[in-house]
Chains A and B, each alone.
Chain A
Amino acid sequence: MTDGGLRILVVDDERAIRRLLRTTLTALGHIVFEAAGGIQALHEVAAHRPDVVVLDLGLPDMDGSEVLARLRTWSAIPVIVLSVREEERTKVAALDAGADDYLTKPFGIDELMARIRVVLRRSVSATSDPVFRTGGLIVDLGRRRVTVDGREVSLTPTEYDLLRALVRHPGKVLTHRHLLTEVWGVPYQTETQLLRVNISNLRHKIEPNPARPTYLTTEPGVGYRLHVEE
């Protein structure tokens, strides 16, 4: 899949950020639309049907989460949230409200492009291939088999469910709440210690060095991410 020719909507009230993204993304061959506020952003999405939205949370007229919530009522368009470091809680709220990923300011353009690629790939080929590979880790969803560097790993049913939930959204950060709901069910949404213990156990089984994980990383205060190779 190529990077060229994507239609990208940039929503940010900061003129400097918009200008930076417009210039660099245009130079990379993309088509860039801009919006400085939430209302305008919703109009732009409806009018131009972009492939992806880069959304700043701190908007003057409407909170970014609110924009996201309204957008999600009628569109599944991939959204990447831009935030500043202090906003762990709003970050989580945005992710739970349906954002596909987030990026912390300041950020590099290559980082942004990587995230864009991830969300687009996911949206294009979410369930087409039952075998997921990243590095030495292979998860065969069809046969419920997991191997690391060719060695088969034996997982408990919960660990497998957890890994499968992560594999379904490769490269995307999944919040605690999302994982708990998907693996254990709604009543367990807040039982983070279940998640903590199982993540730890999973790491010990799939990571070469669990203290410096390469596949399954932690986003402090937000959730977990299964890395993908580009």
Chain B
Amino acid sequence: MRQTDDRAPRGRLKIFLGYAAGVGKTYAMLEAARERQAEGVDVVVGLVETHGRSETERLLEGLEIVPRRTVEYRGASLNDLDLDEVLRRTPRLALMDELAHTNAAGALHPKRYQDVDELLDAGIDVYTTLNIQHLESLLDVVAQFTGVRVGETIPDSVVDESDEIELVDLPPEELLRRLAEGKVYVPEEAADAAESFFRLGNLTALREIAMRRVAQRLDAEMLAYMRTRAISGPWAAGERLLVAVSASPLSERLVRAAKRMSDELKAEWLALYIETPNDATEPELREQALANLALAERLGARVHTLPGSSVAETLVDYARRRNVTKIIAGKPLRPRWRELVRGSVVDRVIKLSGPIDVYVISSGPPTSASRVQLTRPARPWQAHLYSLPPVVIATLIGWPLAHHIEPTNLVMPYLAAVVVVAVYLGRGPAILSALLSVLAFDFFMVPPRFTLAVSDTQYLLTFAGLFIVGLVVSSLAARVREQARAARRRELQTTELYELSRELAGAAGPETITAVVRSHVRQVIGAEAVILLRDADRLNPAPGSEGVDEDELAVATWALDHRRPAGRGTETLPGASHLYLPLLTSRGTMGVLGVGLPEVDGALSATERRAPEAFATLAALAFERVDLAHTANQLELLRATEALQSALLNSVSHELRTPLASIAGVLSSLRGKGGRRDDPGLTPKARAELVETAWQEATELNRIVGNLLDMTRLESGALRMTAEPIDLEDLVGAALAQLDERLEEREVKIVLPSDLPPAAADSVLMVHVLVNVLDNALTYSPEGSPLEITGSRDGSGVRLTIADRGMGIPEEDLEAVFDKFYRTSRDHVPEWIDASRGIGLGLSISRGIISAHKGRIWAERRPGGGTVMSVALPASPGEGESGAAEVS
């Protein structure tokens, strides 16, 4: 449970241990605290009960006391420790009286030792007091000789892990005298119990236990000391204990005994519950067994559950695999005869155990605290009734043969009847049918017939045979049946988890994961689940999950921060309505799974928590996977963006420098002429050609810069657009005028119906688009080939198509040509194309502009070769043939 953190070092815990109330623990603690304060240590009193004793109260003077918190709980107001305030105050040392105290309902933790644990976690040293009888493992021992069962217990681990224990001792006679003087606080409601408790014998025994406990600890410290100094000592290295836990009330004693033994041996201990087919059929037995297992877990055992039909074999097998050196088993409460018939589990364990020591703990008389009825519920009486017909049938088969064959052989039909009953109806009916068979056999088959007198004692053997066969077969059948049932139940759980993990594997986003987990929690646990995901330092409901209110959120946040379950069914804030499980992954806590469990008493055992925890684990993995995928996607996007940027840079630097190179070349040759004598001189014609080249390149450069600027404006959203009615004819004319020089050799066929409505568009931008499209058509079609520009209606809008007889666009690239920096693959470019022209922005810009106009632009292959580019634009609203009226 405890985890090592690289946060503040854990505080030190000192326990003032007494053997009974009134020995002066609180007094001793306060004295020690005052000494520390005198040394300059920052001491505060978290909580001290003076029970009105003046000598104790005097010691409190001068110590800072954290005000208690008043808790309103179900109408009553209770004064209790204000843990938050102590944490906020962060003293060096806090005093916390009565370690075993149970907090008022509604407090952060149900037990004070959990409060103390949190203080220690926060790096605060704690002084506390404890009476020896509150130790969990001593519960039975104390109960045995005092006859009082202590209600408030604390796990032994709290004491074991404390840093210092001071025994506060007072001779029992002195204590009794103080009691008589009224100096010992006894709650009113416990007055009767106190009378039987405070007896010299009891006190002496408790004092001895307390002293032994402290001595044991001193031993342990000594051992630890010796070990660190590499002094060889008398410890048994690597002892490992195993205790078998079952539903039996004896198990609780076994567990405590195992704890004590493991303490004495300083050994690790394991607790194993073997789920037999019997347990599987009786949920009450199972629950009791799991409760015992949970006790073992609280006492510090590592716990496991295994299915198995043979307790002894499974136990020993497990012990071997885990290198257990000692097995602790209980002597069962069974009638002697059953042990004789079936053999005792303990005997079998001893027989199988080999080198493993087996300790058998005897049972006392069953205690009244026993919660489980060991008597089995009555089997349905019908089963017994059904055992009759097979016997009748066997008799009817045997009857006609009775005169012809030996009576011994007539046993066979009865044997068959018993086997059938045993297999299908179970043990009781099998025994009944064996009995009936013997009676029928004797009555009808064995001479003298129709009497029950047995003439020959040999038939006693027949009876015994039938009886044993019935028993053995029925047990075997029952075992097989139950094993199958147990296997089915486990199978169901496994299948469920498998289903969940399979569905989660296919879940693409947090919504799906949430939905899948919620539906499985509903199916398997029968509860509603919420999922809260961490977003920086906050918890937000996952998409598709409900949120929780403020109080619940605090519990969920605790689970997230401490990476431990909290809320209902745990030891932290059990008053919450949900059990909150952190979604732990290798990369941290993704969030919290909240399961709305029905009301439960106390903490869930490890086994009960297994299903929710499995869900939490799977959900955490799924969320982590989606998160990683998301990150990977973003990286991919970034990479694509970077690729685009480098393409841009490459393209731009190439395309800008090419015309610049021509211009610079022309200029340098013009500049070079004259001055030098060896200059051949340029003919006027050559000069004119050079200048013409430079001029064309300059124009081209201007166009490229224009396109880059347009692109930048489009992408930054800075493109200002004023849609106004424009005539396609006007548009085409303006665009063609800009390309005048390049169109000299071309035939341009223009078909524009006179009744076309005007388009709603920005005239300047539309001219850009048209120039780009035309430029493209001119570049990728042979010199002298014709162009066709056609206008038509397009639904309620207008369409303009520009068709060329050029190289065409491959089918698969019809969309790609509108991508940024798309260039025709140079392998397929015919020679007549000056493929170095352009940077692949023209069509991309055109599409951007057209989209901004809510229009469309697309490319098609032209039948007979070439490309058809189409631009569809919405018509200008309210513009019909209104112009006609103006004309007349």
Question: Which residues of A are at the interface with B, using a C-beta cutoff of 8 A?
Answer: 85-86, 88, 106, 108, 156, 158-159, 192-194, 196-201, 203-204, 209-213, 217-221
- In the assembled complex, the Cα of A85 lies from the Cα of B765 at a distance in Å of 12
New A-B pairs, 5, CB < 8 Å, besides A196-B883, A209-B750? A106-B698, A197-B887, A200-B883, A220-B763, A220-B766
Q: Which of B709, B764, B883, B886 contacts A220 (CB 8 A)?
A: B764
Task: Give Cα A41 to B412, complex, Å.
Answer: 134
* Alpha-carbon distance A221/B726, docked complex (angstroms): 11
Contacts of B789 in A (CB 8 A): 211
Q: Please state if A217 and B764 are interface contacts (CB–CB under 8 Å).
A: no
Please name the residue on chain A nearest to B726 by beta carbon: A196
- CB interface residues, B 665-699, toward A, < 8 Å: 695, 698-699
List residues of chain A with CB within 8 A of the CB of B766: 220
Please tell me which one of the listed residues B702, B886, B888 contacts residue A106 in the complex, with CB atoms under 8 A apart: B702
**A211–B763 touching, CB < 8 Å:** no
Choose one: B702, B709, B763; the contact of A221 (CB below 8 Å).
Answer: B763
> Is the pair B727, A200 in contact by a Cβ cutoff of 8 Å?
yes
CA distance A84 to B209 in the complex (A): 101
Question: Interface residue count for B (Cβ, 8 Å)?
Answer: 34
Q: In the assembled complex, which residues on chain B have CB atoms less than 8 Å from the CB atom of A197?
A: 882-883, 886-887
- Taking CB atoms, residues of chain A closer than 8 Å to B762 are 221
**Known contacts A196-B730, A211-B750, A221-B763; is-contact A158 B709 (Cβ 8 Å):** no
Tell whether A193 pairs with B725 under 8 Å between CB atoms, given A106-B698, A198-B886, A211-B733: yes
Q: Are A200 and B709 also in contact (CB < 8 A) when A211-B750, A220-B764 are?
A: no
Contacts from B to A (Cβ < 8 Å): 695, 698-699, 702, 706, 709, 724-727, 729-730, 732-734, 736-737, 748, 750, 752, 754, 758, 762-764, 766-767, 789, 879, 882-883, 886-888
Q: Are B752 and A211 in contact, CB atoms less than 8 angstroms apart? A: yes
- Tell me the minimal C-beta distance from B725 to chain A in angstroms: 5
Least Cβ distance of A158 to chain B in Å?
A: 7
Q: Answer whether A201 and B695 are a contact pair too, CB < 8 Å, given A211-B732, A211-B733, A220-B767.
A: no
Contacts of B706 in A (CB 8 A): 85
Q: Are A220 and B724 also in contact (CB < 8 A) when A158-B886, A196-B758, A210-B729 are?
A: no
CB pairs A–B below 8 angstroms (17 shown): A88-B764, A106-B699, A193-B883, A196-B726, A197-B886, A197-B887, A198-B883, A200-B883, A201-B883, A204-B754, A211-B733, A211-B752, A212-B732, A212-B748, A212-B750, A213-B737, A219-B734
User: Which chain B residue lies CB-closest to A202?
Assistant: B887
Q: How far is the CA of A221 from the CA of B766 in the complex (A)?
A: 10
The complex places the Cα of A211 from the Cα of B882 at a distance, in Å, of: 21
Residues of B within 8 A of A221 (CB): 762-764
Q: Is the CB of A220 within 8 A of B736?
A: no
Shortest Cβ distance from residue A83 to the other chain B in the assembled complex, whole angstroms:
13
Q: Which one of A192, A210, A219 has the highest number of Cβ atoms from chain B below 10 Å of its Cβ?
A: A210
Which residue of chain B has the shortest Cβ distance to A106 in the bound complex? Answer: B702
Q: In the complex, what distance in Å separates the CA atom of A196 from the CA atom of B882? A: 11
Q: How far is the CB of B259 from chain A (nearest CB, A)?
A: 87
Q: Are the CB atoms of A212 and B888 closer together than 8 Å?
A: no
Assuming the contacts A86-B709, A210-B729, asked whether A218 and B734 have C-beta atoms less than 8 A apart, the reply is yes
Q: In the bound complex, what is the Cα–Cα distance between A138 and B883 (angstroms)?
A: 26
| B764 x A156 contact (CB < 8 A) | no
With the chains together, A88 CA to B758 CA distance in Å? 21
Query: Given contacts A88-B764, A217-B737, A220-B767, is CB(A193)–CB(B887) below 8 Å?
Result: no
Interchain CB contact (< 8 A) of A212 among B695, B698, B736: B736
A200 engages B730 (CB within 8 Å): yes
Q: How far is the CB of B212 from chain A (nearest CB, A)?
A: 96
A159 to chain B, nearest CB (A): 8
Q: Do A156 and B729 touch (CB < 8 A)?
A: no
Q: How far is the CB of B846 from chain A (nearest CB, A)?
A: 15
The 6 closest A-B pairs by CB, nearest first: A197-B883, A221-B764, A211-B750, A218-B734, A220-B767, A220-B764
Tell me the complex Cα distance, A196–B886, Å: 11
Q: CA separation between A197 and B882, bound complex, in Å?
A: 9
Closest A residue by C-beta to B749: A211
- Which among B695, B725, B887 is the interface contact of A196 at CB below 8 angstroms? B725
A203→B731 CA distance, assembly (Å): 13
Minimum CB distance partner of B705 in chain A: A85
Tell which of A106, A158, A197, A213 has the most Cβ of chain B within 10 Å: A197
Given A86-B709, A212-B736, A220-B767, A192 contacting B730 (CB threshold 8 A): no
Do B764 and A211 touch across chains, with their CB atoms under 8 A apart?
Answer: no
Contacts of B725 in A (CB 8 A): 192-193, 196
